[in-house]
Amino acid sequence: MKRFWLLVYQIGVACSDTFTGASLMIAPAFTMKRMGVSVDPALLVYIGYIGAFVLGVGLSCAYGALVLLVRGDNKRVQMVWLLTAFVRGSVAAFVAAHVLSHQLAPQWLGVAIFDGVCALVQGFGLRREWLNDVTC
């Protein structure tokens, strides 16, 4: 059962970040509008650039899901969790601080919450060794 829920989590975050990253790269204005955030059109290229990083995190998580599916080396999934938790924690802290200082619109809090929760889940899961013996 533990393996099932870890796989659900991994696939969920992989899909979320991969889809969001690709959307930010391909259609940044449309994507930001769906988030309820208005962006200066001159900044859309930077939003697309951020999308490339979000896509990278999503593809990293997809790799972790693939490793879980084929019952590969759990050390690989642990590394994915560690590195993406660093990225997610950094994003959560940055976005939250800028929302609180009124430099980003409150609609950005969803990003901070999502990334913060994922960083906490992954950090807690690594600490509690959830991934041990899940894939082997």
Q: Locate the domains of the chain by residue range.
A: 2-127
Let me know how many helices (H) and strands (E) the chain has, helices first: 5, 0
Q: Is the pLDDT of residue 136 over 70?
A: no
Residue pLDDT, tens place only, 17-44: 999 999 999 999 999 999 999 899 999 9
Residue scoring higher pLDDT (42 or 2)? 42
Residue pLDDT, tens place only, 86-133: 999 999 999 999 999 999 999 999 999 999 999 999 999 999 999 987
CB atoms within 10 A of CB 76: 16
Mapped onto helix, strand or coil, the DSSP state of residue 39 is coil
Q: Shortest CA distance to 68 belongs to which of 12, 116, 21?
A: 12
Residue pLDDT, tens place only, 60-82: 999 999 999 997 788 999 999 99
Mapped onto helix, strand or coil, the DSSP state of residue 104 is coil
Q: Give Cα separations from 106 to 16, 38, 98, 103, 109 (angstroms).
A: 20, 12, 9, 9, 6
CA distance 88 to 9: 15
**What integer pLDDT is reported at residue 135 of this predicted model?**
56
pLDDT band at 14 (very low <50, low <70, confident <90, very high): very high
Residue scoring higher pLDDT (91 or 2)? 91
Q: Is the pLDDT of residue 16 over 70?
A: yes
Which tokens is 29 given? 């204005």
